[in-house]
Amino acid sequence: MKRQEVIHLYNRFGFGLNAKEIRRFSKMSFEKKLRKETVDELRLDLSEFQGIDFKNLSKLERMELRKRGRKKVLDLNAAWMRKMISSENIVQEKMNLFWHHHFACIIDNPIYGLQFTNAIRKHATGNFRTLLLEVSKSAAMIDFLHTRQNNKRMPNEDFARELCELFTLGRDREYTETDVAEIARCFTGWNHRFSGAFFMQTRKHDGGSKTIFGKTGNFTGEDVIDLILQKKACAQFICENIYTYFVNPVLHEAHVNELTEVLYDSNYDIEKLIIHIANAEWFYARENILAKIKSPIEFIVGLAKQFKIENDSTESWLTLQRLFDQVLYRPPNVKGWKVNREWIDSNSLPFRLRIPSVILTNAQLQLEPKPDYDANPMGMERNNFSKRLGFSCDWDYFFANNKRINFKVLFFNNIISPQVAEFLENNSFASKKEEVIQLISLPEYQLM
């Protein structure tokens, strides 16, 4: 593959490459790279939460347990960040991040968070039906969309609605309000134990006949998922989301239709779909290169991988995510995080331009962050933020892995605006370090 194509491919299906990786992956097909990757679980010591008889705890003990659980989710957050930064399984890690956005879920329980995370990790490039079913049965999703409250006497439509609207078909596509009500009946009785294990609460399940998409039968939740997947509109919706995330924020009808056929005809094989994208000539068209704005996590992880950025403090990783306004396990709502240009405004862009130099020099960071509504629900206190985050970087690692490459190629895929060209022409740098910091502090570094 050509160098520009390799950089583009792993900007999208990864978090960027250094020069040594660019040369290595130029000699390897995407398919070979993907199949060499392993699917590894995220690990976290949760022994303190095992063997607890939750039903017999006092109200105060339950409150304390939940408090400890929320704190442990922060450790899970940091563990996931470190995994994205350090893992060689770069395609798998990027797919994990995508599906966490697609199946947006606010999680406060570390047991359920770890289970949810590993369900996605296991199936991120596998079969979409299996992934959808595992996510739907997860304790995290059951709690988030109130499936536990869904019973035959009083059906709760929250999960049924989001299943159709956000996870499979798209808003108001090929389903009606009556379908939503009937689908909700199919998921009655879905529940989980304190351990997170799924079980069917039979006495709460509606075993009667339901009519969905014009078909009548004694459908279960699993049956509903199969009925949805039979619709090509489901494959199209998934492909639209994948296209806007990995290819271009502006949909190309012919390309989306092409991908829809691949996904539908392969019985929803995610691996085949992304290999098809990576092999498509149109994926490397000029209009798709540097056409997307990095999400905060993509920005942080990409920077950290290039410079081997480390920090032992869980709180520092969380602080950085809060300042960037993208906290893992805390999407703003069921629709997921912002996308593309939504990340950039008059407040966020100056911060983004400043943060690389702050991290790489461990400088004092001063700004007024958004209020933390979890810690302070009223959001009244807005103390000025001023501290060193304590991140370390390895310049020797960076330069050793980026020999014999022009930094314009490394950071901008050799596509630079007239403004950047003028900046480079009119400025001399005292050192290579200064040049690097100046380049990654330009607005163009926000693109991928």
Q: How far is CA 317 from CA 246, 253, 390, in A?
A: 25, 39, 10
Within a 10 A sphere around the Cβ of 349, how many other Cβ atoms? 14
**Residue 127 forms beta bridges with which residues?**
269
3-state secondary structure of 192: strand
**Mean pLDDT, to the nearest integer, of 438-448?**
94
d(CA 237, CA 27): 34
**Residue 293 forms beta bridges with which residues?**
447
Q: What are phi and psi of 105, to 5 degrees?
A: -150, 120
Residues with Cβ within 8 Å of residue 65, at least 6 apart in sequence: 49, 52, 54, 57
**Mean pLDDT, to the nearest integer, of 229-239?**
98
Eight-class DSSP state of 28: S
Eight-class DSSP state of 168: I
Span 17-33, pLDDT tens digits? 999 999 999 999 999 99
Span 130-181, pLDDT tens digits? 999 999 999 999 999 999 999 999 999 999 999 999 999 999 999 999 999 9
DSSP codes, 118-162: HHHHHHTTSBHHHHHHHHHHSHHHHHHTTGGG-BTTB---HHHHH
* Tokens, residue 313: 């403090």
Quote the mean pLDDT of the chain: 93
Residue 374's pLDDT band, with cuts at 50, 70 and 90, is low
Residue 417's pLDDT band, with cuts at 50, 70 and 90, is confident
Residue type for 127, please?
Answer: N
